[in-house]
């Protein structure tokens, strides 16, 4: 009985050691892993029907932003921002917090030198209420201290005027999504 106990205990120690080494190797791989693409699935806030996807892809010039959104008011402009928290639990999207602003700048447009990292400007919808956008943003990062991974993306009811502080007067939140690491497929 004692030999069986010692053998079982020894086997468990060896297994635990191997598992810990494998976990440490996986953790090191994750820490050094370069994220090339992230994705957001947009979900409508209560009472709205806006949905779609936003894909962020690392390029040599910055991060490419490709949005494909439906359910917007026809032929209208809608504020488009990365927000502080990747939290879409509130029915109205307010749990995502304010604009992502790690550099403590004033609100501005996507081409302004002084702006929040999360200021992406506006989405323009077509006659059917669909909006697509494809641009490269030099302030966005998928890694590092100002990474957008895990942050929220919000589409607003109104146009961002690119000036009003601190949000551009873009109005309520129509849709919310969280920036996640994309499947490399």
Catalytic residues: 81, 83, 99, 107, 116, 119, 156, 173
In angstroms, rounded to a whole number, what is the distance separating the alpha carbons of residues 39 and 62? Answer: 16
Cα 57–Cα 60–Cα 61 angle in degrees, nearest 5 = 90
Residue 138 to residue 142: CA distance in whole angstroms: 11
DSSP 71-93: SPPTT-EEEEEEES-----STTS
Task: Answer yes or no: are the C-beta atoms of 63 and 141 closer than 8 Å.
Answer: yes
Q: Are 55 and 41 in contact (CB under 8 A)?
A: no
Residues forming a β-bridge with 63: 58, 137
């Amino acid at each position: 009985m004692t030999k069986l106990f010692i053998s079982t205990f020894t086997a468990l120690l060896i297994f635990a050691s191997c598992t810990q080494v494998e976990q440490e190797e996986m953790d090191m791989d994750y820490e050094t892993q370069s994220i090339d693409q992230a994705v957001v699935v947009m979900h409508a806030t209560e009472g709205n029907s806006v949905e779609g996807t936003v894909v962020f892809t690392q390029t040599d010039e910055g991060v490419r932003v490709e949005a494909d959104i439906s359910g917007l008011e026809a032929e209208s402009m809608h504020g488009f921002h990365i927000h502080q928290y990747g939290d879409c639990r509130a029915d109205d999207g307010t749990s995502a917090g304010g604009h992502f602003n790690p550099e403590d700048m004033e609100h501005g447009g996507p081409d302004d030198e002084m702006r929040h990292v999360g200021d992406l400007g506006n989405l323009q919808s077509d006659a059917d209420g669909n909006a697509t956008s494809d641009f490269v943003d030099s302030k966005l990062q998928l890694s590092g201290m100002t990474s957008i991974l895990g942050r929220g993306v919000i589409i607003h009811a109104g146009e961002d005027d690119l000036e009003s502080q601190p949000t551009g007067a873009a109005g309520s939140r129509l849709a919310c999504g969280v920036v996640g690491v994309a499947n490399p497929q």
